[in-house]
């Protein structure tokens, strides 16, 4: 049974959801699945905007067939070649043999790499700013290199200013039935997942995201059709444009403290809780406390992009840093997180070095200001160290603008 929905006159949603997938990219936990979006434009010419992941090929192909209603497919437009979108290209090409495949030079190199069929006779290459007329509607192509792959491009439908945004403005989460962001409480339901999606997948490429946003100019699209999540309409568009500007420039959305701790037997955890309680007593609101062994690092990364201050507390392990904390800090580095204020608490029973390891990793990141001396525990936090903990809390509070 097809699940086609109308996006705009003669533009149909033909994508599908996968709620069985446990880990997106075999890495990121999905509590509610993910959508793989595809859109069909039915104008004088027909154009399919991207394909879908292999897991949802069947409902997608049923949707496309039903939506075409016997018409031929003239164009298959490929805005992004990651397999969660490109996996079904060869099958679409087989079923609709007259369709030209629209992409840029890098798109076609990747098609050659991923597929064994020679699809090159069907390639229709487009460059920055070039257009494709479908009849009443025209698509203008905006290259978006490294957002977050080199071949990524956006397509702007120029008549109604509808942006087909590839992975940009996407979010985790399967469909609940409503297609548009203004048919749901987007901010309450999906903003956190939009942030987790962006920061973990595109987070490294802030400079390229800003360059692409600049190319789009100041005209706000009437609709944004991403490759994951709902079609954006209404207040979600300015909301996400503002969030993208913060995330891509590594500016915190708000002042506040994220405390991430690792603890084998509860002693480091106890110190992290003591610090959190002190910060609360001193007036810090909306504290975010995470056990790095319990909360997947993708969630902590998203919170770290949101808030201004980061505290890391971890024991020493194998004369280095507890592994889950090591992974979190290296991931933050790889994702280019910068411009934060930080503090660390280390622990060790005979030779504590975790504080030094955390400071070294923070030192590799850009503009991470350590606002207090590290608090170093020998097995557990002692009464005699409470003044040190108080000083740490005071320095954090003083640095919160
Ligand atoms: Fe949703 Fe970069 O693929």
User: Measuring CA to CA, which residue among 396, 395, 390, 400 is closest to residue 278?
Assistant: 390
Tokens 């010419």 belong to residue:
45
pLDDT of residue 2: 76
DSSP state of 163: E
Segment 158-196, tens digit of pLDDT: 999 999 999 999 999 999 999 999 999 999 999 999 999
SS3 state at 28? strand
Segment 88-110, tens digit of pLDDT: 999 999 999 999 999 999 999 99
Arithmetic mean of pLDDT, 244-265? 98
Beta carbons within 8 Å of 3's beta carbon, 6+ residues apart: 16, 59, 63
Question: What DSSP element (H or E) covers 360?
Answer: helix 354-364
SS3 state at 393? helix
Residue 78: both structure tokens together: 């490929």
Q: Taking the alpha carbons of 364, 370, 372, 378 in that order, is the dihedral positive or negative?
A: negative
Q: How confident is the model at residue 55 (pLDDT cuts 50, 70, 90)?
A: very high
The backbone region for 336, taken as left when phi is positive above 0, alpha when psi lies in -120 to 50, beta otherwise, is: left
Distance of alpha carbon 179 from alpha carbon 190, whole angstroms:
13
pTM as predicted: 0.97
Arithmetic mean of pLDDT, 333-355? 98
53 pocket-lining for ligand 1 (C-beta < 6 Å): no
pLDDT of residue 1: 61
pLDDT of residue 147: 95
Segment 287-307, tens digit of pLDDT: 999 999 999 999 999 999 999
Distance of alpha carbon 121 from alpha carbon 258, whole angstroms:
53
pLDDT of residue 219: 87
Distance of alpha carbon 206 from alpha carbon 199, whole angstroms:
9
Q: How confident is the model at residue 203 (pLDDT cuts 50, 70, 90)?
A: very high
Q: How confident is the model at residue 238 (pLDDT cuts 50, 70, 90)?
A: very high
Residue 386: both structure tokens together: 């409470």
The answer to whether residue 254 scores a pLDDT higher than 80 is yes
34 pocket-lining for ligand 1 (C-beta < 6 Å): no
Buried b / exposed e along 268-279 (16+ C-beta atoms within 10 A) = bbbbbbbbbebb
50 pocket-lining for ligand 1 (C-beta < 6 Å): no
Residue 82 CA to ligand 1 center (angstroms) comes to 5
* Bridge partners (DSSP) listed for residue 48: 40, 76
Residue 50 CA to ligand 1 center (angstroms) comes to 11
Residue 85: both structure tokens together: 């979108």
pLDDT of residue 259: 98
84 pocket-lining for ligand 1 (C-beta < 6 Å): yes
Arithmetic mean of pLDDT, 317-339? 98
Beta carbons within 8 Å of 278's beta carbon, 6+ residues apart: 389, 390, 393
pLDDT of residue 224: 98
Beta carbons within 8 Å of 42's beta carbon, 6+ residues apart: 10, 11, 12, 67, 68, 71
Beta carbons within 8 Å of 369's beta carbon, 6+ residues apart: 340, 341, 342, 399
Q: In the chain, what's the furthest Cα-to-Cα distance?
A: 79
Atom number in ligand 1 closest to CA 227: 1
Residue nearest to atom 2 of ligand 1 (CA): 82
Residue 248 CA to ligand 1 center (angstroms) comes to 17
Distance of alpha carbon 317 from alpha carbon 354, whole angstroms:
8
SS3 state at 88? coil
The answer to whether residue 401 scores a pLDDT higher than 90 is no
DSSP state of 194: H
195 pocket-lining for ligand 1 (C-beta < 6 Å): no
Query: How distant, in Å, are the alpha carbons of 65, 84, 95, 107, 352 from that of 16?
Result: 14, 12, 19, 23, 51
| Cβ–Cβ < 8 Å for 371, 392 | no
Q: How confident is the model at residue 81 (pLDDT cuts 50, 70, 90)?
A: very high
- Give the Cβ contact number of residue 320 at 10 Å: 12
Atom number in ligand 1 closest to CA 152: 2
pLDDT of residue 182: 98
Torsion of CA 103, 109, 112, 114, to 10 degrees: -90
Segment 120-164, tens digit of pLDDT: 999 999 999 999 999 999 999 999 999 999 999 999 999 999 999
Question: What DSSP element (H or E) covers 370?
Answer: strand 368-370
């Amino acid at each position: 049974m097809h699940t086609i929905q109308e996006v705009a006159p003669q533009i149909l949603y033909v994508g599908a959801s996968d709620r069985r997938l446990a880990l997106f990219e075999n890495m990121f936990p999905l509590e509610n699945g993910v959508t793989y979006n595809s859109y069909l434009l039915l104008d004088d010419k027909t154009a399919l905007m991207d394909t879908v992941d292999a897991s949802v090929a069947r409902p997608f192909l049923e949707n496309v067939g039903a939506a075409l209603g016997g018409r031929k497919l003239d164009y298959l437009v490929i805005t992004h070649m990651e397999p969660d979108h490109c996996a079904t290209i060869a099958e679409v090409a087989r079923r609709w043999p007259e369709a030209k495949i629209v992409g840029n030079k890098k798109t076609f190199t990747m098609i050659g790499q991923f597929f064994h069929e020679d699809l090159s006779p069907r390639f229709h290459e487009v460059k920055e700013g070039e257009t494709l007329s479908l009849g009443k509607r025209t698509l203008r192509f905006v290259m978006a290199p490294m957002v977050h792959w080199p071949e990524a491009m956006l397509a702007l439908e120029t008549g109604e200013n509808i942006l087909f945004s590839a992975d940009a403005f996407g979010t985790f989460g399967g469909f609940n039935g409503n297609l548009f962001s203004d048919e749901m409480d987007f901010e309450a339901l999906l903003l956190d997942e939009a942030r987790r999606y962006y920061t973990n997948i595109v987070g490294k490429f802030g400079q390229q995201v800003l360059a692409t946003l600049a190319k789009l100019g100041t005209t706000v699209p009437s609709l944004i059709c991403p490759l994951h999540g709902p079609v954006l309409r209404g207040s979600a568009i300015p909301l996400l444009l503002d969030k993208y500007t913060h995330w891509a420039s590594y500016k915190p959305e708000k002042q506040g403290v994220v405390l991430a701790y690792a603890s084998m037997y509860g002693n480091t955890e106890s110190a992290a809780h003591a610090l959190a309680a002190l910060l609360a007593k001193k007036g810090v609101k909306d504290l975010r406390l995470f056990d790095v062994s319990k909360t997947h690092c993708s969630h902590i990364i998203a919170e770290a992009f949101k808030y201004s201050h980061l505290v890391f507390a971890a024991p020493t392990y194998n004369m280095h840093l507890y592994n889950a904390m090591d992974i979190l800090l290296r991931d933050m580095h790889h994702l280019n997180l910068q411009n934060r204020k930080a503090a660390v608490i280390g622990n060790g029973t005979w030779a504590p070095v975790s504080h030094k390891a955390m400071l070294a990793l923070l030192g590799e990141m850009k503009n991470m200001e350590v606002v207090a001396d590290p608090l170093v525990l020998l097995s557990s936090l002692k009464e005699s160290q409470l003044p040190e903990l108080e000083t740490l809390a005071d320095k954090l509070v003083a640095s919160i603008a």
